[in-house]
Amino acid sequence: MRLLWLCMAALLLVAGPSSSATQRRVALVIGMGQYVSVPNLPNPPKDARAIGESLARLGFEVDTHVDSDYRDFAKSLREFGIKAQNADVALIFYAGHGMQVDRENYLIPIDARLERERDLIYEAMPLDRLLGEASQARVLGIVILDACRNNPFAEKLAQKVQTARARAMSVGPGLARVDATPKDTLVALATRADALAEDGEGNHSPYAEALLANLEMQGLELGLFFRRVRDQVLKATHGRQEPFTFGSLGAEPFYFNPLPPNAPPVVPVLAPLDFSDDKTPKPLNIAGLSDPDGDRLSVRITGLPKGGALQLGDRVLLMGDALTAEQLGKLTFTPDGSYTGQAGPLTFAVEDGRGANVAGSLFIKIVAANRPPAVEPERQLHTVALPLGLRVPLDPDGDPLFITVSEVPGVGVVRKSDGAGLKVGDRVAPEELSKLTYDPGLAPQGEAGTFAYVVDDQRGGRAEARVRIAIGTRPAGGGGAPNVATTHEPAKATQTASVVTVPMAPPEPTKSVALPIVPAPSEDGTLRDCRDCPALVVMKPGSFTMGSMGGDASSKPPHKVTIAKPFALGKFEVTVAEWNACVQAGACKAAGEPGEGGDRLPVRNVHWQDAQDYVAWLTKQTGRKYRLPTEAEWEFAARGGADSAYWWGDVFGKGKANCSDCGGAYDRKLPSPVDAFPANGFGLFGTAGGVAEWVQDCWHPNYAGAPKDGAAREEPNCRERVIRGGSWRNDHSYAASASRFYYDGDVRYIANGFRVVREME
């Protein structure tokens, strides 16, 4: 029995409003127009017939009576009451004259004369009798009265009756309030209590016109139905007539014309997809979702395939995320290279907002892509012309000296300060000699040849100086100019007594623009190696747990890391102003995003190699080793000494970071200034949100085999590099201390920036 009840309840729940179609509904419709003793009312009979026909179309068993005398009125009411006892809904509609006497309401049949007060007992129908019959229905009783017209019976009754009782009798306009309504019974009046309703100039009264306009409208609940009728009558009468309802109903909804049973959404069978594991986004092209009822559909992700990321634009989706049906069609899947084979289905639930829920699935297979030959990634080669380090020759007698090139190297070019190459026979001013440089060009390793010149004092004294040049290996780290070694040969003098051969000095280093050095550390405990250098905070050695058991699989497994040596980390992300100093020095390229928003914004739209150029420039200017932080150093510092999800706790809260849903000032086009949000426990700003920060490490999909000493994870031909901290365009999940992502190291993106590390000596 209990199981049967549960099944019936489930069917009713799915059916929704349409379940009222199974109810038995009865209606008594009465229209009084042809009055015997007072002027006729033209509209009530027409109103009654139209209302009765409409109710019949809505499934009511309708009994319509027009121009009934008292006897017929009483008989039809009695027969209706018998039907109401076995009905779910019982409705009475009355149009005609009505009146109130001593706050009691009466409805007037056509044969009433009402020549004395007691005639009310024999000639008028008390409203309470209608309420009593309608209230017998099992679920709902409804009494609708269009009976508040200007009533000649009231004036007639007052004039005819001369007794003391009659003089004390109160005959009011319209109908009185109906406060004593039976349970689950609604009384609707054409206008407010003690007010008059209009009969109208058309085929129906304003009240009947509004009832007819809304009765058959699909899906109108009873309360909304009468509110719509009220608004329409107010508009039609220019505010003179305001319908009113009385009664207290329960929460069970009632519809004159319910919606049909809710049909569930239609989700097509989706053909499986095969994707190559080349780490590029693949559109899923999910289409064909529809709803027979036209309901607006929503989608919830219930399961994810492995071996990649499900994305909507830049947003990585997780289980439980909600989408529109249109957004479902825009999803992409990006394999991460960690898996090939059946990746499992993407599963989702499609909901119509009215209780229907249909599951959908799309199976994805990841296949190994054809791998192109591996080549070294594009890089920039810096070559410079190297100084030969030659000194200006001296003459013991003070004679003026003339210098002529007598030999040049077989490979490469010796150049003057204006860049012109020298050849045998060229004259060189003595003061120019110290400025000569050697440009190896594309020369291979080995002996390059000899550069020689003859010094002549024009008085018979001559000497020849020779410099033998050899090209060695390139400096460690690559990307620079080759090493060039010079060996000075003994001078060949024709008059040794008058010519002094001066040994050649070693090469001087190339000069660069020097930035002013400022004291460090400053009063707030930060270091700064030069005026335009980033401010640094010293990180003391320590241990911490890197990664997290929750969240994305890339942050697992959590593991202990020990940072054995101190290092200094940028207090802020590198700013637009700091980057522009490098650009002005010719060592960095202008960022793809110019300084819109101010110099205190973090520089953005720089790739990993751009960041390498910047730290190399800092190293050269300051004489101290700058680099990007390792991923472990970054997370150690970003946590600020805390082991919670965020440096401030496990709940992301509001106003702590610059991200799309983190609270505080927000502009999707621009990040906030680097110091706009609070610093963490180590005094670092912007480790959560702002710009996503490049670190030194190559990307790995998880921490399996990760070093425990905080070193960077490097590998040959590394294309993808780790970025940390999330950006202002991401939501708060990217701002978690353990959250990690990656980007191609040679690709610039509007939300990517970095901060620097300076090694401590």
All structural domains of the chain, each given as residue ranges with its CATH number in brackets, are: 14-246 (3.40.50.1460), 273-367 (2.60.40.10), 386-493 (no CATH), 536-759 (3.90.1580.10)
Residue 22 has pLDDT above 90, yes or no: no
| Residue 706 three-state SS | coil
Which has the minimum average pLDDT: 267-276, 360-369, 494-503? 494-503
Which has the minimum average pLDDT: 131-140, 305-314, 621-630? 305-314
Tell me what percent of the chain is helix, strand and coil, each rounded to the nearest 5. Answer: 20, 25, 55
Residue 392 has pLDDT above 90, yes or no: no
| Residue 315 three-state SS | strand
CA distances from 532 to 32, 563, 615 (A): 96, 28, 13
Residue 386 has pLDDT above 80, yes or no: no
**CB 96 within 8 Å of CB 74:** no
* pLDDT given for residue 515 in this prediction: 32
* pLDDT given for residue 470 in this prediction: 82
Residue 16 has pLDDT above 70, yes or no: no
User: pLDDT: is 231 or 193 the higher one?
Assistant: 231
What's the chain's average pLDDT? 84
**Residue range 650-662: average pLDDT?**
88
Instruction: Name the percent of the chain lying above pLDDT 70.
Output: 84
Structure tokens at 570: 């940028």
Residue 114 — φ and ψ, nearest 5°?
50, 60
> Residue 350 and residue 558: Cα distance in Å, rounded?
36
Nearest to 126 by CA among 112, 137, 140, 136: 112
**Residue range 400-405: average pLDDT?**
89
pLDDT digits (tens, 9 = 90+) for 570-580: 999 999 999 99
User: pLDDT: is 34 or 388 the higher one?
Assistant: 34
Cβ neighbours for 439, distance < 8 A, ≥ 6 positions apart: 383, 385, 386, 412, 413, 414, 415
Residue 518 has pLDDT above 50, yes or no: no
* pLDDT given for residue 472 in this prediction: 64
Burial level of 115, CB count in 10 A (0-12/13-18/19+)? middle
Residue 303 — φ and ψ, nearest 5°?
-160, 145
User: pLDDT: is 322 or 515 the higher one?
Assistant: 322
Note the pTM of the prediction, 2 decimals. 0.43
Residue 625 has pLDDT above 50, yes or no: yes
Quote the distance between the C-alpha of residue 268 and its chain's center: 28
Residue 387 has pLDDT above 90, yes or no: no
The segment with the largest mean pLDDT, out of 13-22, 75-84, 161-170, 468-477, is: 75-84
* pLDDT given for residue 334 in this prediction: 94
* pLDDT given for residue 372 in this prediction: 58
Count CA within 13 A, CB hemisphere, residue 47.
Answer: 30
Residue 477 has pLDDT above 60, yes or no: no
**Residue range 186-203: average pLDDT?**
85
Where does the pLDDT of residue 195 fall: very low under 50, low under 70, confident under 90, or very high at 90 and above?
confident
